[in-house]
Amino acid sequence: MHNTVVIKSNRAGMTVILDPDIPFPQLLSDIGKKFGDNAKFWGSAQMTLTLEGRELKAEEEFAVINRITENCNVEIVCIVDRDLNRIERCEKALNEKLMELSCQTGQFFKGNLQNGESLESEASIVIIGDVCKGARVLAKGNVIVLGKLAGTVCAGVAGNGEALITALDMAPVQLRIADCTSGLDGRGKRLGHGPMKAYLENNKVIIKPMKKSVEIFRKLR
């Protein structure tokens, strides 16, 4: 039997290879059946999605995502783009915008914080990179890590209980918001799949997955 949909998994998510020749409605039907038949295998998880084998329009990508989520409990948090030229254009536009914001507010840091390094902010801060194990971030506002958070982060250090900590991949040694510390064991265990957030609720640090979203940076073309 000819397979029109092939799925390959990895630590961050999955790659779905699509038949380039069959009509798109039939392909959608095959995707639904493939994921429906294997729903127990995937369980409930958040994953990135890479689509290969076929050029798809934006509306077709959304149709694929919707068909997957309708037939199993997998949540697609983002599509990984494999078009190198488009990625380069997106990164250039994003970097230009971040530089503009950085000049205005000074609240962006680009790079990886290594073991032993520390970063402090008088407001909120966005880190474009990883916070490695042994690194430390302190901010009076929110801390947003566009990468892996494996170190220690303290947000709302001036007593701001409304502060948030978010990361695309969260495996911290310790988190602290205002005067409350999370009950992590300090081993840097990964906390779920996909983007996570930490916030205060009843004087306790709560760590949960981000709300369902599909982010495709088409506007940056």
Q: Give yes or no: residues 98 and 198 share one domain.
A: yes
Distance CA 27, CA 2 (A): 12
Reduce the DSSP state of residue 56 to 3 states and report it.
coil
Q: Which of 24, 58, 79 is the last residue of a domain?
A: 79
- 104-156 pLDDT, tens digit each: 544 788 889 999 999 998 888 888 899 999 999 999 888 989 889 999 999 99
Say which residue, 2 or 129, is predicted with more confidence: 129
Query: Is 221 a member of any domain?
Result: no
Structure tokens at 200: 């205060």
Give 49's contacts (C-beta < 8 A, 6+ positions apart): 13, 14, 15, 16, 65, 68, 76, 78, 79, 80
CA–CA gap between residue 205 and residue 175 (Å, rounded): 8
pTM above 0.85, yes or no: no
Report how far apart, in Å, the C-alpha atoms of 194 and of each of 18, 121, 210, 213 are.
24, 26, 8, 11
Estimate the share of the chain in helix, then strand, then coil, as percent rounded to the nearest 5: 25, 35, 40
pLDDT, tens digit, 9 for 90 and up, residues 5-51: 998 876 667 889 999 999 999 999 999 999 999 888 878 777 888 88
User: Above 60 in pLDDT, residue 192?
Assistant: yes
**What SS3 class is residue 102?**
helix
The boundaries of the domain holding residue 27 are: 5-79
Is 219 domain-assigned?
no
- The reply to whether 216 falls in a domain is no
Q: Which residue has the tokens 């994953």?
A: 47
Task: Give CA–CA dist 53/32, Å, rounded.
Answer: 17
Note whether 15 and 50 are same-domain residues: yes
Contacts 24+ apart (CB under 8 A), 130-139: 131/167, 131/172, 133/173, 133/188, 134/173, 137/113, 139/163
97 shares a domain with 75: no
pLDDT at 31: 94
The count of other CB atoms within 10 Å of the CB of residue 70 is 11
pLDDT per position as a tens digit, 57-73: 888 988 999 999 999 98
pLDDT above 60 for 103? no
Domains in the chain, number: 2
Strand stretches in 113-211, DSSP E = 118-121, 125-128, 136-139, 143-149, 152-155, 165-170, 174-177, 180-181, 196-200, 205-209
